[in-house]
Amino acid sequence: MSPLLASVGAETETAFTMPSINYYAIAPILILFGAAVVSVLVEAFVPQRGRRPVQLVIVVGSIVAALAVTIDLRGTRLVTGEGAIAVDGPTLLMWGALLVIGLLGALLMAERSIDPLGDAFAPRASALPGSEDEQEFTRRGFLQTEVWPFLLFALTGMLVFVASNDLLVMFVALEVMSLPLYLLAGMARRRRLLSQEAALKYFLLGAFSSAFFLYGAAMLYGFSGSVSLVAISDTLSAKTGEGSLVAIGIALLMVGLLFKVAAVPFHQWTPDVYQGAPTPVTGFMAATVKIAAFGALLRVLYVSLGGLRWDWEPMLWIIAALTMLVGSVVAITQTDIKRMLAYSSIAQAGFILVGVVAASPQGLASALFYLVAYAFTTIGTFAVITMVRDASGEATHLSKWAGLGKKSPVVAAVFSLFMLSLAGIPLTSGFVGKFGVFAAAIDSGNTWLVIVGVVASVIAAFFYVRVIVLMYFSDPTPDTASVVIPSAFTTIALTASAVMTIALGVFPQWLLDIITQAGVFIR
Amino acid sequence: MTELMPAEGVFSLIWLLIALPLAGAAVLLVGGRRTNAWGPLLGVLTVSASAVLGIVMLLQMMQNSPEQRTFDQTLFSWVFVGGFQADMAFQLDQLSMVFVLLITIVGALIHVYSLGYMSHDRDKRKFFGYLNLFVAAMLILVLANNYLLLYVGWEGVGLASYLLIGFWQHKPSAAAAAKKAFVINRIGDVGMSLAIMLMFVTFGTVSFQGVFGVADQASEGTLNAIGLLLLLAACGKSAQFPLQAWLLDAMEGPTPVSALIHAATMVTAGVYLIARSNAIFDVATVAATTVVVVGVVTVFIGAIIGSAKDDIKKSLAGSTMSQIGYMIAAAGLGPIGYVFAIFHLLTHGVFKAGLFLGAGSVMHGMNDNVDMRRYGALRKVMIVTYVTFAAGWLSIMGIPPFSGFFSKDEIIHAAFEQSVLTGVLLIIGAGVTGFYMTRMFIMTFLGKARWEDDVHPHESPKVMTVPLVLLAIGSLFLGMALLYWGNIETWLEPVVGYEAGESPISTTASIALSLLAVGLGVLVAYLMYQRRAVPIEAPHGSWLTRAARNELYGNEVNDVLVVQPTYYTSRWLVWFDNKGVDGFVNGSAAFVGGLSGRMRRYQTGFARSYALSMVGGAVLVVLALVLVRAS
């Protein structure tokens, strides 16, 4: 039917043309979006008591369904929605990763046994911190079930973000993904002021970066007369002479995207937000936003700006080097484990950028592997942090982790595994990932960047291993936190991420094969 | 041409030869103290079972024609990396067969003897565990079908040797001796690993079949290098010059250990290695000549040390060094010598084990005193030890019809075939052997009693004397049996090759000459120690005696050439590490830490300053792109 309509549209040019959309190819997006809408309706019509189980069924069910469709779509390479959405190998791979990590994040958010007061979220986010209302809501055991539609909307935005093939759709997706995350960051049950401050900062700076993105997109539109990535690329190769408009457009677009991946100097929101947000949200956000933002960045660079790689590579070299070094160096003096991991995530973004600037199919593959490996390790890391607690809630100060290895050997061992993976020690996924990006960079001639990366890795190893030393080689003090036994939700998420961290370190080949089959971005 | 036979029938159990003692070691070492009661017996049983299995295999092997006596058993692919492949695979042929029998039968006898010798030791299950471990490792060494697996056994026996020398680790001298043996052996092991690497680089394989098949195609320089590296390995393991210094200290270990490891089996591994690698040494003439030189030099070093030591075990250790010198020299002679090197190795394994166990029996009766100047006249109280020791004594001197006569005279005769000088030197060596062995025999069993006051010598229990008797019977008949009934040359010929050479003197003449030399040595010893009384305090002696007592200053030479330079290098490196490396590392750590402390101040917590830095960053990014594009 649609080819017929398209041909009719070609004859009468003024008439509105029904866009040709392959609905099955974008079914994962539609499923999550539909589920998110239903989830909002549940908040409106289902009584307070019944909401949580219904929401959980919707969230888990829709993610699993979207995942099933994604798997069924494997091998698909097409552009649909009149060139707005590209469903290709990298898209499907990142959809799969986002959905699995999203599911693990949902499990962490669903945890209710760790905090004696309830889950990780404020009973009513609207209540003033420390007010009588708040105490009343807590006493009555209210739960803020709005987190579930937020989660689904954010995931929907991410799926669109990595698949969007024009700048306008990409911008809309960026906002759909970001706005729910700003809210989620501000809904912590404990230390609410810190959480709200984090949310506000995240929102302000996020809006600021979105403006940069939008401005850059406008510049590129002004230059090429189109927002389509492919059309911009074609214009760039046709009109080679003209300079500054393109340069400014690319630069501003990059700023918007580099903000989301937390690259230096656009990284400063990261520690504050990671620390203030409820830990399950931090874990979810740290893992998924990294995938989504790098997915979009890679697509813009490879599809639209591939012909200009000599122009943007020097800028990204410097940003990658700075990101690795600043993240690693500043992490050394952190005393709060969530802040330390925030700087760690900045440094990790630098390592992934090393793969990105390789600007080769190998670089793309290595960055994708790194993203998947990093996402699993990260969500596991934050899962452990939710469990290490004292009377006032999570014990995030590093001094309270002293001697934890003696009090809770299993949890400490799992956390050590994640730290070793983040440090890139062999037999963990982090090593394979780091090796991949460095190898790709050397093949592209960026040896000096690899040297900087290795130096940064050495610095980073210090603070990762320091946590292990603290846990195992110090004696427990009265201040040492204890590990709370979680319910099946957290246990499943933690086990899955630990298993994947080892599996991708010891047998990485299956994922490498999948990535190789995924190939490159469609044009 | 020999064929490779599949390991079928009884030969499918080749792995079991090793697995039995290995399992014994595992049970004894993992089981701990609770196995003290029955553990030693288990150790004896596993080795005896391997011995029985070995005998069955021998009988089966003799059924096959000489070309069909090589059996190959591949268990699994062990290392497979890139082009490098090594299998967990065993090769049983005529050469490894005789070694299997030597190791398991002598090993079993020494296990039995140890039941008596170690009966009062509170850690005896550990002792038997280590002994079993040794037997298993030694069997891996001789059964491997490639150099890498051989290396596993090589290191395994080194480990067992270390553990057993230091078995009485509460004695500082024993701990030091164990360490010394280990360190000196490492030097030889470096040669071994380099040889294996060089073989892989040259031939692309480390399996015996692969290397020997193409050995003659490599350049002679490479083959000489491989041969010299293998010789270095052999020198370490077999205590040959210049790596001989550890063997005398190794006598700190319990006497059964000295008998099994440091006389009969492990120290002969170097001879096995050279005989096994005959395809290389046949072409590598420089290396082969060096082998002969090393062997002859060690014959004299060992014999001279053996002549001066008053410690019965150290004197025997010098003798072992010297006798292995004979074997190494024979192996260096090439196809005229390999079979006799192995032949002497077998007879020596039996009579030297007998001599050591005899010495152990004497010490058992003398409150563990090892000083021969406090022995004397023991023939009256230890009749079985006396007679069996006499059999070993006559055998090592090469008195017909004892075993040593046949094997040593074949070596001397073969040496004449290659060079008169070598033959003459080896005959002189035989004379010195006659001297020191007679000296030992007289000082221990004849003459007047010089016992300490509280010593009451007595014969050892049956469990110790029965192995002595069996080994004495071996000392008497094994030479004849192997030469006339076993046809040792034709038996080994398919593996190591054999060709008779042209000798400038007749067989009768060389026998007569060597017997004359031995007779002279015996006479001198008789005059010095039987006709004159043996003083309890050692006399000052000539410069040669003093040098020999000091082990010909081998330790001092090592100290000056190796230990002191290493020590000073290491002191310098420590200094450099403290000042230079640590200074750099700590300095950079302090630098990074300081930098971190400074940089975190830019994280002010104010959203406005974050936004400002974003703007700054954006400006820089824009400028960078514009500039790059403009250029």
- The pLDDT tens digits for A351-382 are 999 999 998 999 999 999 999 999 999 999 99
User: Is the bond preceding residue A265 a cis peptide, omega within 30 degrees?
Assistant: yes
Distance from CA of A467 to the nearest CA of B (A): 16
Nearest residue of A to residue B601, measured between CA atoms: A330
Q: Kindly report, residue by residue over B152-208, the tens digit of the pLDDT.
A: 999 999 999 999 998 988 888 899 899 989 988 988 999 999 999 999 988 888 888
| Residue A432 counted as domain residue | yes
Which pLDDT belongs to residue B274? 92
CB-based contact B610 A201, cutoff 8 Å: yes
Of the candidates B214, B241, B223, B254, the residue with the CA atom closest to the CA atom of residue B134: B254
* Residue B74 bridge partners (DSSP): B89
Residue A80 domain-assigned (yes or no): yes
d(C-alpha A99, C-alpha A31), whole Å: 12
Give B589 to chain A, closest Cα distance, Å: 8
Q: Is the pLDDT of residue A5 over 60?
A: no
Closest chain A C-alpha to B77 CA, distance in angstroms = 20
- Dihedrals φ, ψ of B347, to 5°? -65, -40
Q: What region does B552 belong to: left with phi over 0, alpha with psi -120 to 50, or beta?
A: left
Q: pTM for this one?
A: 0.66
Residue B619 in contact with partner chain A when CB distance is under 8 A: no
For B617, the closest chain A residue by CA position comes to A265
Give chain B positions within 8 Å (CB) of A333: 593, 596-597, 600
Contact residues on chain B for A319, CB-CB shorter than 8 A:
621
Q: How far apart are CA A79 and CA B462, in angstroms?
A: 94
Alpha helices in B366-461 (DSSP H): 383-397, 403-418, 420-445
CB contact under 8 A, A201 and B607: yes
Q: Which range has the worst mean pLDDT, A328-337, A399-408, B370-379, B391-400?
A: B370-379
Residue of B241, B327, B302 whose CA lies nearest to B436: B302
Q: Residue A428: how many CB atoms within 10 A of its CB?
A: 24
Structure tokens at A322: 């700075």
- Residue A475: closest CA among A408, A402, A388: A402
Residue A254 lies in a domain: yes
- Given a contact cutoff of 8 angstroms between Cβ atoms, the answer to whether A245 and B623 are in contact is no
Of A324, A359, A370, nearest to A515 (Cα)? A370
Q: Which residue has the higher pLDDT, B5 or B411?
A: B411
Rounded average pLDDT over B464-479: 89
Select the more confidently predicted residue: B44 or A10.
B44
Answer whether residue B491 shows pLDDT above 90. no
pLDDT tens, residue by residue, B72-93: 888 888 777 777 778 888 988 8
Question: Does residue A313 have a pLDDT over 80?
Answer: yes
Per-residue confidence band for A15, with pLDDT thresholds at 50, 70 and 90: low
Task: Determine the average pLDDT of the residues in B535-545.
Answer: 79
Could you tell me which residues are beta bridge partners of residue B321? none
Contact list, B622 vs chain A (CB under 8 Å): 247-248, 251-252
Closest partner CB to A329 (pick from B599, B624, B625): B599
Phi, psi for A394 (deg, rounded to 5): -65, 135
For testing the chain B interface, which of A239, A273, A274, A329 should be mutated: the one with the most B CBs within 10 Å?
Answer: A329
pLDDT at A13: 54
d(CA B253, CA A490): 59
Do A269 and B592 lie within an 8 Å CB cutoff?
Answer: no
Nearest to B355 by CA among B244, B266, B436, B427: B436
Pairing of strands B70-81, B4-6: parallel
Distance from CA of A493 to the nearest CA of B (A): 32
Alpha-helical segments (H) within B454-560: 462-480, 488-496, 507-525, 543-549, 554-558
Nearest to B630 among A243, A326, A459 (CB): A243
Split at pLDDT 50, 70, 90, the class of B217 is: confident
Among the ranges given (A158-172, A278-292, B426-440), the one the predictor scored with the smallest mean pLDDT? B426-440
Cα separation, A293 vs B277, in Å, equals 64
CA distance A290 to chain B (A): 19
**Chain A residues within an 8 Å CB radius of B617:** 255, 264-266
CA end-to-end span of chain A: 25
Which secondary structure element, helix H or strand E, spans residue B6, and what is its range? strand B4-6
Mean pLDDT for chain B overall: 88
Which residues on B lie below 8 Å from A326 (Cβ)?
Answer: 599
User: According to the model, what pLDDT value does residue A4 have?
Assistant: 46
Model pLDDT, residue B334: 85
CA distance A294 to chain B (A): 18
pLDDT attached to residue A242: 66
Stated length of chain B = 631
Tell me the mean pLDDT in the region A497-520: 93
Query: How many CA within 13 A on the CB side of residue B254?
Result: 28
- What is the mean predicted confidence (pLDDT) over B275-290? 90
Inter-CA distances, A292 with A162, A347, A499, B124, B541, Å: 6, 17, 23, 67, 90
Express each pLDDT in A434-457 by its tens digit: 999 999 999 999 999 999 999 999
Spatial distance between the Cα atoms of B63 and B66, rounded to a whole number of angstroms: 9
**What DSSP assignment string belongs to A346-376?**
HHHHHHHHHHHHT-SHHHHHHHHHHHHHHHH
Q: What is the CA radius of gyration of chain A?
A: 23
Question: How does residue B604 score in pLDDT terms, banded at 50, 70 and 90?
Answer: confident
Candidates B202, B194, B221; CA nearest to B212 is: B202
Report the length, in residues, of chain A.
523
For residue A194, the one-letter residue type is: L
pLDDT at B2: 67
Touching B: A residues 47-106, CB under 8 Å: none
B594 interfaces chain A, CB cutoff of 8 Å: no
Q: Does B628 touch chain A (CB under 8 A)?
A: yes
CB A325 within 8 A of CB A454: no
Task: List the structure tokens of A190.
Answer: 């404990």
Residues of B in contact with A205 (CB under 8 A): 607, 610-611, 614
pLDDT at position B612 is 92
Q: Is the pLDDT of residue A322 over 80?
A: yes
Q: Look up tokens 């083959």; give the residue.
A: B223
At residue A422, the 3 state secondary structure works out as helix
| Interface residue B610 vs chain A (CB under 8 A) | yes
* Cβ-Cβ contacts under 8 Å, B600 against chain A: 330, 333-334
The CA-CA-CA angle for residues A99, A103, A109, to 5°, reads: 140
- Best probe of the B interface among A219, A267, A275, A332, by most B CBs < 10 A, is A332
- pLDDT, one tens digit per residue, over A39-64 is 999 999 999 889 999 999 999 999 99
Residues with Cβ within 8 Å of B163's Cβ and at least 6 positions away in sequence, in order, are: B130, B133, B178
B630/A326 Cβ within 8 A: no
- Comparing C-alpha atoms, which of A107, A112, A101 is closest to residue A56? A107
pLDDT at B370: 84
A2 domain-assigned: no
A315 in contact with B at a CB cutoff of 8 Å?
yes
Closest chain A residue to B607 measured between Cα atoms? A201
The answer on pLDDT for A9 being more than 50 is no
Q: Please compute the mean of the pLDDT values over residues B206-233 and round it to a whole number.
A: 89
Instruction: Say if residues A428 and A417 touch (Cβ distance below 8 Å).
Output: yes
Q: B388: Cβ–Cβ under 8 A, 6 or more apart, which residues?
A: B354, B358, B465, B468, B469, B471, B472
First-to-final CA distance of chain B: 76
Could you give the CA distance from residue B457 to residue B455 in angstroms, rounded to a whole number?
6
Give the mean model confidence (pLDDT) for residues B329-350: 90
Contact B596 A208 (CB under 8 A): no
Contact A208 B611 (CB under 8 A): yes
Q: Which residues does chain A have within 8 Å of residue B585's beta carbon, measured at their own beta carbons?
A: none
Helix axes B312-332, B403-418, angle to 10 degrees: 40
Yes or no, beta carbons of B592 and A459 under 8 Å apart: yes
Is the confidence at residue B601, as pLDDT, over 70? yes
* Strands, E assignment, A406-478: none
Mean pLDDT of A272-291: 95
Q: Which of B613, B617, B629 sits opposite A243 (nearest CB)?
A: B629
State how many domains chain A has.
1
B596 touching chain A per CB within 8 A: yes
Which residue from B605, B610, B620 is facing A205, i.e. has the nearest CB? B610
Q: For an interface test with B, give the residue of A242, A312, A313, A315 to mutate (most B CBs within 10 A).
A: A315
Q: Rounded to an integer, what distance in angstroms lies between the CA atom of residue B513 and that of residue B494?
A: 32
DSSP B201-266: HHHS--BHHHHHHHGGGS-HHHHHHHHHHHHHHHHHHHT-TTS-THHHHGGGS-HHHHHIIIIISG
Q: Which residues contact B627 (CB under 8 A, 6 or more apart)?
A: none
The average pLDDT across B50-60 equals 91
Q: Do B622 and A252 touch (CB under 8 A)?
A: yes
| Residue A236 lies inside a defined structural domain of this protein | yes
Please check whether residue A268 touches B, CB under 8 A.
yes
| CA atoms of A498 and A378, how far apart (whole Å) | 10
- Count of other CB atoms within 10 angstroms of residue B609: 13
Predicted confidence (pLDDT) at residue B324 exceeds the cutoff of 50: yes
- Contact (CB<8Å) A252/B599: no
Q: What's at B231, amino acid-wise?
A: L
Q: A109-155: per-residue pLDDT in tens? A: 999 988 888 889 998 888 888 889 888 888 888 888 999 999 999 99
pLDDT value for B461 = 86
A9 part of a folded domain? no
- Interchain contact, B607 vs A204, CB within 8 Å: yes
Mean pLDDT of B303-321: 90
The pLDDT mean for chain A works out to 92
Measured between CA atoms, how close is A328 to chain B, in angstroms?
A: 9
Q: How many angstroms separate the CA of residue B584 from the nearest CA in chain A?
A: 14
Residue B587 to residues B578, B582, B590, Cα–Cα distance (Å): 12, 8, 5
Instruction: Residue B593: list chain A partners with CB under 8 A.
Output: 332-333
What single DSSP character describes residue A320?
H
**Host domain of residue A281:** 20-518
Quick check: B614 contacting A, CB < 8 Å? yes
| B599 touches A: beta carbon within 8 Å | yes
In a domain, A4, yes or no: no
What distance in Å separates the CA atoms of residue A17 and residue A354, rounded to the nearest whole number? 43
Binning pLDDT at 50, 70 and 90, where does residue B380 land?
A: confident
Cβ distance A181 to A205 under 8 Å? no
Residue-level pLDDT at A8: 46
Instruction: Tell me which residues of chain A, numbers 461 to 480, contact chain B at a CB-CB cutoff of 8 Å.
Output: 462
- Among chain B residues, CA nearest to A246: B626
The alpha-carbon gap from A358 to the nearest alpha carbon of chain B, in Å, equals: 18
Distance in Å, alpha carbon of A275 to nearest chain B alpha carbon: 12
List the Cα angle A167/A173/A179 in 5-degree steps.
135
CB burial class (10 A; 0-12, 13-18, 19+) of residue A398?
middle
Residue carrying the six token digits 């014994």: B24
The upper half-sphere exposure of residue A395, i.e. CA atoms within 13 Å in the direction of its Cβ, equals: 18
Strands (DSSP E) contained in A379-471 are 388-390, 393-394
